[in-house]
Structure 1
């Protein structure tokens, strides 16, 4: 599967690329032809600075389908196209050169969404998420709640979309880590242990909308 127009791409600098192999850049497919994919100027995820690419610079590129499947290929910069907006040209891979990660991987986006939590059929409270993704989320809650690693919570997530519609995703989540933050809060990291495909797709759709919005900012 080839990336499509408007597809979000993540570019990792390869070891021989000026020793910056740990840097991950984010971009988006703006145009393409038979041999070339034209992408927006890559943005450094950490520094929030744009990266000046040079011809011959190699990258490992990955992207996600809406089903959460990660696809990976290697490429190199072939030029820069100056149009209304400058675009970086990278070599389009052959289909056989794109590998598929068999594990389900999902984009995560920062998001402050309302999460209703039920614990032990008695305790209920409302929390706010830190980030969400198709495979799990993290949220902040008061330390007074008896939250521990391995606990399973029943949750309902409020999922707002760009058009103004609101969906609700129901799931059970297993707590994988609890960290103290702020004077009286916990940061709780959770993976989905039981979620319907329809509810998971609601969350994945929200993440893709947020990714596109973040790129426009």
Structure 2
């Protein structure tokens, strides 16, 4: 399966596909490979970051980034729960014809600390600086300082400073809409979706995310 590369260490996204339930997204990682099964770490909820335990038979759409940087997806079910050194689950190995290549490169999200300035468009034109907790070509999550706040659906201007391994820096300016706010362990964060970002600047963010992803993969295998 050239370019697809299902292998140990690959990070995957799981979207719940159960009748009558919301299609919530979870993260996991391939921790082992068997002849007919993929062994996954227990999924972590994208928004709450909590580990979730699903019963055998739960249906998901599983996606991952191949070596060609395209996103591949297939439908699957939990075939078994395993007790290794830590709890894990098994899903059937997909056939080549079951894999679908999807155009979602901008949604590859990585954990990354990036300097960001936020300018609010209210009558006071308030602004603050902070850092991101994760980023993708479609948006980012930022840490809210103690004395600052944002509102759901609020549109803000943001400036990003992206530092690449080559030593070069690129500065991105775009508007973004607040789509999610949460508080965990005393830390408040806001997720924003880019509203009017230039294609060239979005591709810079995508390249930055892929570079960070490669760094993480190297650390996992070192």
Same fold, TM-score > 0.5, yes or no: yes
Larger radius of gyration: 1
Counterpart contact for 1:158–1:167, Cα < 8 Å: yes
Q: Spell out the pairing of 1:172-211 with structure 2 (5 A cutoff).
A: 173-175=173-175, 177=177, 190=194, 191-195=197-201, 200-207=206-213, 209=215
SS class of match (1:20): coil
Counterpart contact for 2:159–2:174, Cα < 8 Å: no
| Unaligned runs of at least 5 residues, structure 2 | 118-127, 149-154, 182-190
Q: Spell out the pairing of 1:75-94 with structure 2 (5 A cutoff).
A: 75-94=76-95
Task: Report the number of matched residues.
Answer: 190
Q: Higher strand fraction: Structure 1 or Structure 2?
A: 1
Equivalent residue for 1:31?
A: 32
Matched residues in 1 for 2:24 and 2:192: separation? Answer: 27
Deviations 1:6-43 (A, max 9, x none): 11111122123xx4333222110001122100001112
Matched residues in 2 for 1:167 and 1:199: separation? Answer: 15
Counterpart contact for 2:11–2:64, Cα < 8 Å: yes
1:53–1:203: structure 2 CA closer, same or farther, 3 Å change rule?
Answer: closer
| Unaligned runs of at least 5 residues, structure 1 | 117-125, 143-148, 160-164, 182-186
Matched residues in 1 for 2:45 and 2:159: separation? Answer: 36
Matched residues in 2 for 1:74 and 1:67: separation? Answer: 21
Matched residues in 2 for 1:203 and 1:192: separation? Answer: 17
Counterpart contact for 1:68–1:106, Cα < 8 Å: no
Matched residues in 2 for 1:37 and 1:62: separation? Answer: 13
Matched residues in 1 for 2:105 and 2:212: separation? Answer: 17
Root-mean-square deviation (CA, aligned residues, Å) is 4.4
